[in-house]
């Protein structure tokens, strides 16, 4: 058996295969963009067949780079969570578009359930809220609106992205694939009991989710099956949703350890230990990992729009040509000039949970320039993070320091702004792709390269710490301006 680890990192805007040595060194990477489909306002879809085909091509490139399947010890998969796929168990082909986590089509259903008094019970069982974000609401909408799903009967398979990829990797000419999901992804569906770790009959009924179509819930590390698509057998040994994988990649193994990932969205997870947490301030409780049938939990705050805001400024508005130029633009002005951008392009996430909120740009004057708008967009990351920190603190889980990762924090100005506005040290690893790193750690654990997560943490390398420098008066003035801007959006 080889000792290299192949990670399939299935994101929202791209898919990627990465090759790791047990030391944590990244030996290669191949990525491909994914087409974003917006059939109507608030609707976001992917083509599951495209996801599979482009993931397969990237994986083949990395297997070739490794020198063949025999050089690879295991595959780890990490994925955009909540996105849901519907496929035919017989043909292995999608039956409908994949509904992406950003999609808001189930907002009306969520309002109906909340008005019927369902949310407290759902939150008590799942740790989640009734929001279009979560997979169960998407399943309910799809089962009511796409007749081909009911017509499929026992042939229908439903799963999140890692479930879809495992099925396709393990299927062959004579049989269908392995239908599994790991506990972290299952905990994001609104269908799993947070304490029991199993599908809940009451929740399945509420969201019209057919049990026979759902995958088996498994650990995050272990030997789950194998693929023979690369010229030899490679076991699949690690599975985790992207934010949980990033938390593992940041070695947040002690209760209270906190990481924030700034990618398409922004997600903060704090290790809550072995008991399911309960939030009174509209944060989420979720499974951080499950090993040997035992779960470690996290408190999570989810921001829907982060890096996608910069992409929007570039592609839809034309305000910038490349994402890296935002750092120089932010530095080119002494402050935001009173400009605030509330990036509710797909509603507001935690702690507001306003799916119908729309973005706003306020405080403009003749002295405002495109640099002020770009700076306001970057500042929105720290402002939204401060809102989350306030909610975490109210739940007794305040952050002493923050470990950050994701594409946005390669921007030194933004990393420093986070430290300034949160008034705590911010640690950024030199290798910021910690989502893939966490999946590699789990794969290494699952195939026996590592004896435990602590040993796997050797893969995490050095980093840089940003200390807060901003004075309290300037910080408070910005927070007041942000709060006023948000209030105009949510009222």
| Contact assessment for residue 68 and residue 231, using Cβ atoms and an 8 Å cutoff | yes
The encoded tokens of residue 481 equal 């301006």
The encoded tokens of residue 137 equal 């609401």
pLDDT surpassing 90 at residue 215: yes
With bands split at pLDDT 50, 70 and 90, how would you rate the model's confidence at 1?
Answer: low
Question: What DSSP element (H or E) covers 486?
Answer: helix 472-490
- Domain contains 190: yes
Displacement of CA 206 from its chain's centroid (Å): 25
pLDDT surpassing 80 at residue 84: yes
pLDDT per residue as tens digits for the range 108-122:
999 999 999 999 999
pLDDT per residue as tens digits for the range 222-265:
999 999 999 999 999 999 999 999 999 999 999 999 999 998 88
Provide Rg for the chain, Cα atoms.
22
- Domain contains 19: yes
Q: How many residues does the chain have?
A: 491
What percent of the chain has pLDDT above 70? 99
With bands split at pLDDT 50, 70 and 90, how would you rate the model's confidence at 168?
Answer: very high
- Contacts of residue 138, Cβ cutoff 8 Å, sequence gap at least 6: 82, 84, 99, 103, 105, 106, 132
Which runs of E-coded beta strand occur in 168-257?
180-182, 216-218, 226-227, 234-241
Residue 348: the pLDDT is 84
Average pLDDT over residues 361-378: 95
Displacement of CA 456 from its chain's centroid (Å): 22
pLDDT surpassing 90 at residue 102: no
Question: What DSSP element (H or E) covers 454?
Answer: helix 453-456
The span from the CA of 181 to the CA of 236, in Å, is 12
Q: Is the peptide bond before 257 cis (omega within 30 degrees of 0)?
A: no
- Domain contains 14: yes
pLDDT surpassing 70 at residue 307: yes
Residue 263: the pLDDT is 84
With bands split at pLDDT 50, 70 and 90, how would you rate the model's confidence at 460?
Answer: confident
Task: Check which CATH number belongs to the domain holding 11 and give it.
Answer: 3.30.420.40
pLDDT surpassing 80 at residue 173: no
The span from the CA of 27 to the CA of 5, in Å, is 10
Q: Please, how many CA atoms are within 13 Å of residue 312, restricted to the half-sphere of its CB?
A: 17
pLDDT surpassing 80 at residue 149: yes
Give the position of tokens 């299927």.
171
Residue 48: the pLDDT is 96
Which is higher by pLDDT, 174 or 64? 64
pLDDT per residue as tens digits for the range 387-404:
999 999 998 889 999 999
Q: Please, how many CA atoms are within 13 Å of residue 440, restricted to the half-sphere of its CB?
A: 30
Among the listed residues 60, 4, 3, 52, the one whose alpha carbon sits nearest the alpha carbon of residue 30: 60
pLDDT surpassing 90 at residue 52: yes
DSSP summary character for residue 307: H
Residue 406: the pLDDT is 86
Residue 13: the pLDDT is 85
With bands split at pLDDT 50, 70 and 90, how would you rate the model's confidence at 12?
Answer: confident
Residue 352: the pLDDT is 84
DSSP H helices in 267-324: 307-315
Average pLDDT over residues 76-88: 95
pLDDT surpassing 70 at residue 181: yes
pLDDT per residue as tens digits for the range 396-445:
889 999 999 988 999 999 999 999 999 999 999 998 889 999 999 999 99
Domain range enclosing 230: 4-243
Q: What angle do CA 362, 366, 369 make, to 5 degrees?
A: 75
| Contact assessment for residue 30 and residue 61, using Cβ atoms and an 8 Å cutoff | yes
pLDDT surpassing 70 at residue 446: yes
- Domain contains 158: yes
pLDDT surpassing 90 at residue 97: yes
Task: Give the chain's domain count.
Answer: 1
- Domain contains 66: yes
- Domain contains 201: yes
- Domain contains 299: no
- Domain contains 421: no
Q: Please, how many CA atoms are within 13 Å of residue 383, restricted to the half-sphere of its CB?
A: 25
pLDDT surpassing 70 at residue 452: yes
């Amino acid at each position: 058996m080889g000792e290299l680890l192949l990670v399939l990192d299935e994101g929202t805007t791209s898919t990627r295969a990465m090759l790791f040595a047990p030391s944590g060194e990244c030996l290669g990477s191949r990525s491909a963009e994914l087409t974003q489909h917006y059939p109507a306002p608030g609707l976001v879809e992917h083509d599951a067949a495209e996801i599979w085909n482009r993931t397969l091509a990237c994986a083949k490139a990395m297997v070739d780079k490794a020198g063949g399947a025999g050089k690879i010890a295991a595959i780890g998969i990490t994925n955009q969570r909540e996105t849901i796929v519907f496929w035919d168990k017989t043909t292995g082909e999608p039956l409908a578009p994949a509904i992406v986590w950003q999609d808001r089509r189930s907002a009306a259903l969520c309002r109906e359930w909340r008005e019927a008094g369902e949310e407290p019970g759902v939150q008590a069982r799942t740790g989640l809220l009734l929001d279009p974000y979560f997979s169960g609401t998407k399943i309910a909408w799809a089962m009511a609106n796409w007749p081909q799903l009911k017509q499929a009967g026992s042939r229908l398979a439903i799963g999140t992205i890692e479930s879809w990829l495992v099925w396709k990797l393990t299927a062959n000419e004579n049989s269908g694939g392995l239908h599994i999901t790991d506990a972290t992804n299952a905990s994001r569906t609104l269908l799993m009991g947070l304490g029991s770790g199993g599908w809940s009959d009451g929740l399945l009924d509420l969201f019209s989710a057919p049990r026979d179509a759902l995958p088996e819930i498994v650990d995050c590390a272990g030997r789950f099956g194998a693929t023979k698509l690369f010229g030899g057998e490679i076991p699949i040994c690690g599975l985790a949703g992207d934010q949980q994988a990033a938390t593992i990649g940041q070695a947040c193994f002690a209760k209270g350890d906190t990481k924030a990932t700034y990618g398409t969205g922004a997600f903060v997870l704090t290790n809550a230990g072995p008991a399911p947490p309960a939030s009174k301030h509209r944060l989420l409780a979720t499974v951080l990992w499950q090993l040997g049938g035992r779960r470690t939990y996290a408190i999570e705050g989810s921001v829907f729009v982060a890096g996608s805001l910069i992409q929007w400024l570039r592609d839809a508005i034309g305000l910038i040509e490349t994402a890296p130029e935002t750092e120089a633009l932010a530095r080119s002005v002494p402050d935001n000039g009173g400009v605030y951008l509330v990036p509710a392009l797909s509603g507001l996430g935690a702690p507001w949970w306003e799916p119908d909120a729309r973005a706003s740009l306020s405080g403009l004057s003749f002295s405002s320039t495109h640099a002020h708008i770009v700076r306001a967009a970057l500042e929105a990351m720290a402002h939204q993070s401060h809102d989350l920190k306030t909610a975490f603190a109210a739940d007794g889980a305040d952050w002493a320091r923050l470990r950050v990762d994701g594409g946005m924090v390669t921007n030194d100005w933004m990393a420093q702004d986070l430290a300034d506005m949160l008034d705590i040290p911010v640690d950024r690893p030199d290798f910021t792709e910690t989502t893939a790193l966490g999946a590699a750690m789990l794969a290494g654990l699952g195939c026996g390269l590592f004896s435990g997560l602590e040993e796997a943490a050797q893969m995490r390398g050095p980093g840089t710490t940003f200390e807060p420098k901003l004075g309290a008066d300037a910080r408070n003035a910005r927070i007041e301006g942000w709060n006023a801007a948000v209030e105009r959006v949510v009222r």
